[in-house]
Chain A
Amino acid sequence: MAVPSSASTAELILAPAPAERGALVQARRFLVRNPTLVAGLMALVVVVAGGVFAPVWWTGDPQAMRPVERLRAPSAEWWFGSDQYGRDIYTRTIYGTRVSLVVGAAVSVTSLLIGTALGLVIGFYRRLDAVMMRVMDGLMAIPAILLALALMALMRGSVRNVIVALVIPEIPRVVRLVRASVLSLREAVMVEGARALGVGTPRILVRYILPALVAPLIVHGTYICASAMLVEAYLSFLGAGTPPHIPSWGNIMAEGRAYLQLAFWIILFPGLFLAATVLAINLVGDGLRDLLKVR
């Protein structure tokens, strides 16, 4: 793991160019060496800007209904067409970006935090290991979507509960990753040295083991984010996700289901946005994996 413990990934990526080289040359070199990462980041910036500044992009009110104008095909006036209530699909799709981004980001950050904390402790305290890993194996045997569905069946539909339902299936995978690294690092010479000098276990975990985990965790986090966005859409589509009044991509597509033959655009555009966003995040993940040399 070639990551200096002091530098965060953002610093690594955006590291200032040495004065003698010139920033432009440096930037071009970075682009040539990491085309996937750059392409993914650029697409992601566009999507994030789309979601954050949703009201700016010639959108209207995502809930405004104009029944006279229902099921209009895409045109100069209705860029992505309209749905069965005469709501503007373009506006709703742009606003839907917010839900997906919030869910994706929240799920990946939360599951990384909880999973890392658990993984560090489980990896270092042998006695916990056997029992906890069986528990993790058991949880991992249940497909993530089914587990999330079951959780949603027991909770009210809200964005917060969707995030909870998506975090729980992801935690065991993070724990596995962290634990595996802890197990291999625990025997490392530097850890033995630190131990010999009387450094306590909590300090060893934080100062010696955590830094080595930063790179793989960031890469794993991007994959969690991508899959969380997909599963959020699946849950909404199956009627067990965000409440129907929130214009998430999954909800828009769920409502368009009955009108596939009449108005395929209701499903087409939100799906394209979802696929493009997930693709961008996966590209960033692949790019970071190559850049940070995570195997």
Chain B
Amino acid sequence: MLQQIFRRLMAAIPVMGVVAIAVFALLHVTPGDPAVIIAGDYATPDEVAKIRSKLGLDRPFLVQVGIWLGQVVRGDLGTSIFSGLPVTTLIGQRAEATTGLTVLALLISVAIGVPLGVVAAWKQRSWIDRVVMVFAVSGFSMPVFWLGFILVYVFALSLGWLPVQGYVPLREGFWPFLSHLILPAVTLSVVYMALIARMTRASMLGVLHEDYIRTAFATGLEPRGVLMRHALKNASLPVVTIIGIGFALLIGGAVVTETVFALPGLGRLTVDAIVRRDYPVIQGVLLVVAGVYVLINLVIDLLYAVLDPRIRY
């Protein structure tokens, strides 16, 4: 097993290398002089020259790529043009809010999405199934920030149950931390929940027609036990896969959600960096997020072997 994990990690390295080169190359493949773009419309030629030399943009492209990759390997993502702080420091400061938000959203979506899908498949073509499917399609079509505003308007502004926006770090108490994350996490979870419910239903439908399920029901086992232990376990591979792939959706939604709820997370950091054309920060966030995505899908790949003993690496 350890050897497998190691081999998988090795396979992830070229992908991360591609990501590192791609985020760096973006700056050069887009039309125009990168230094001028970063300096903005009102910069003097002097400022442009300063940025050019600071980012090393005056060197040959391949040399720049080499220097960048060397930095990345050593865990150095460069320095923010705007604040002068190392990008890794900025990302470290903002990681807590985003982690809290995405983990909570993930928990909510799995805790609700999977049972919804199971019930919909079990009661196929019933009204429950229809409701779940309507929810799944419309949840997938909902603009995340719009849903956030509606929830804020109802639960924060009108009912006053939860804070409108803002963030309290975990060290200042669990409830204040959680109460500020509930609305954002619910907002963010809807799309993901819809995706998970849909995939669970489709996968369960495939399994429920199997003979062994009919046998299990025939022996008089409780439906709950049959569904959860016999059916869901065998239907779980595609569901776990979609949880991993959908993680990109979750991060993308987090960028928008953090803006709606004024959460000081990575998404906010990126959006601010874009307004200020602080490219080193954008580059760093992209790389870190992609790394997390690759890592999560790696863990899921390894989970397959736990869920389905027939799969061996």
Write out the residue numbers on chain A whose beta carbons fall within 8 Å of the beta carbon of B256: 145, 234, 237-238
Contact A271 to B146, CB < 8 A, known contacts A139-B22, A144-B248, A154-B37: yes
Q: Which of A147, A154, A230, A271 has the most CB of B within 10 A?
A: A154
Closest 3 CB pairs of A and B: A138-B18, A271-B146, A145-B252
Selected contact of A142 from candidates B14, B150, B249, B286, CB within 8 Å: B286
B residues whose Cβ falls under 8 Å from a Cβ of A: 14-19, 21-23, 26-27, 30-32, 34, 37, 137-138, 140-146, 149-150, 152-153, 157, 248-249, 251-253, 255-256, 259, 270-271, 273-275, 277, 279, 282-283, 285-286, 289-291, 293-294
A-B contact pairs, 17 of them (CB 8 A): A138-B15, A142-B19, A142-B286, A142-B290, A144-B248, A145-B253, A146-B270, A146-B289, A150-B282, A154-B26, A234-B256, A260-B149, A261-B153, A261-B157, A275-B138, A275-B141, A286-B137
B106 CB to nearest A CB, Å = 15
Write out the residue numbers on chain B whose beta carbons fall within 8 Å of the beta carbon of A279: 137-138, 141
Selected contact of B248 from candidates A134, A143, A268, A271, CB within 8 Å: A143
Please name the residue on chain B nearest to A276 by beta carbon. Answer: B141
Inter-subunit contact A146/B146 (CB<8 Å): no
Question: In the complex, what distance in Å separates the CA atom of A78 from the CA atom of B274?
Answer: 36
Question: In the complex, what distance in Å separates the CA atom of A143 from the CA atom of B289?
Answer: 8
Write out the residue numbers on chain B whose beta carbons fall within 8 Å of the beta carbon of A257: 149
B141 CB to nearest A CB, Å = 4
A residues whose Cβ falls under 8 Å from a Cβ of B: 134-135, 137-147, 149-155, 226, 230-231, 233-234, 237-240, 253, 257, 260-261, 264, 267-268, 271, 274-276, 278-279, 282-283, 286
Inter-subunit contact B27/A237 (CB<8 Å): no
Question: In the complex, what distance in Å separates the CA atom of A128 from the CA atom of B27?
Answer: 25
Selected contact of A240 from candidates B21, B32, B274, CB within 8 Å: B274
Please name the residue on chain B nearest to A257 by beta carbon. Answer: B149
Question: In the complex, what distance in Å separates the CA atom of A147 from the CA atom of B287?
Answer: 11
Write out the residue numbers on chain A whose beta carbons fall within 8 Å of the beta carbon of B253: 145
Inter-subunit contact A233/B143 (CB<8 Å): yes
Question: In the complex, what distance in Å separates the CA atom of A140 from the CA atom of B293?
Answer: 10
Write out the residue numbers on chain A whose beta carbons fall within 8 Å of the beta carbon of B279: 153-154
Contact A253 to B19, CB < 8 A, known contacts A154-B37, A240-B274, A264-B153: no
Inter-subunit contact A234/B286 (CB<8 Å): no
Contact A141 to B141, CB < 8 A, known contacts A146-B255, A149-B270: no
Question: In the complex, what distance in Å separates the CA atom of A177 from the CA atom of B159?
Answer: 47
Can you name 10 extra interface pairs (CB under 8 A) apart from A150-B274, A153-B277, A261-B153? A134-B14, A142-B290, A143-B293, A146-B285, A154-B32, A154-B279, A253-B145, A260-B157, A267-B149, A274-B143
Inter-subunit contact B144/A234 (CB<8 Å): yes
Selected contact of B251 from candidates A143, A261, A271, A283, CB within 8 Å: A143
Selected contact of A282 from candidates B27, B140, B294, CB within 8 Å: B140
Number of residue pairs A-B, CB distance < 8 angstroms: 150
Dominant secondary structure of chain B at its interface with chain A: helix
Inter-subunit contact A152/B15 (CB<8 Å): no
Inter-subunit contact B286/A237 (CB<8 Å): no
B235 CB to nearest A CB, Å = 16
A110 CB to nearest B CB, Å = 17
Contact A147 to B149, CB < 8 A, known contacts A234-B256, A238-B255, A286-B137: no
A229 CB to nearest B CB, Å = 9
Please name the residue on chain A nearest to B17 by beta carbon. Answer: A138
Write out the residue numbers on chain A whose beta carbons fall within 8 Å of the beta carbon of B249: 143
Inter-subunit contact A153/B282 (CB<8 Å): yes
Q: Which of A149, A233, A253, A286 has the most CB of B within 10 A?
A: A149
A134 CB to nearest B CB, Å = 5
Inter-subunit contact B259/A238 (CB<8 Å): yes
Question: In the complex, what distance in Å separates the CA atom of A234 from the CA atom of B267?
Answer: 12
Inter-subunit contact A137/B138 (CB<8 Å): no
Inter-subunit contact A138/B141 (CB<8 Å): no
Contact A283 to B137, CB < 8 A, known contacts A146-B285, A234-B145, A237-B145: yes
Inter-subunit contact A239/B30 (CB<8 Å): no
Question: In the complex, what distance in Å separates the CA atom of A253 from the CA atom of B248?
Answer: 24
Please name the residue on chain A nearest to B253 by beta carbon. Answer: A145
Question: In the complex, what distance in Å separates the CA atom of A162 from the CA atom of B31?
Answer: 14
Write out the residue numbers on chain A whose beta carbons fall within 8 Å of the beta carbon of B252: 143-146, 231, 234
Q: Which of A138, A231, A257, A286 has the most CB of B within 10 A?
A: A138
Write out the residue numbers on chain B whose beta carbons fall within 8 Å of the beta carbon of A143: 248-249, 251-252, 255, 289, 293
B81 CB to nearest A CB, Å = 12
B291 CB to nearest A CB, Å = 8
Contact A142 to B153, CB < 8 A, known contacts A154-B30, A282-B140: no
Question: In the complex, what distance in Å separates the CA atom of A122 from the CA atom of B31?
Answer: 27
Question: In the complex, what distance in Å separates the CA atom of A231 from the CA atom of B286?
Answer: 17
B174 CB to nearest A CB, Å = 28
Inter-subunit contact B274/A146 (CB<8 Å): no
A10 CB to nearest B CB, Å = 23
Inter-subunit contact A275/B19 (CB<8 Å): no
Write out the residue numbers on chain B whose beta carbons fall within 8 Å of the beta carbon of A147: 286
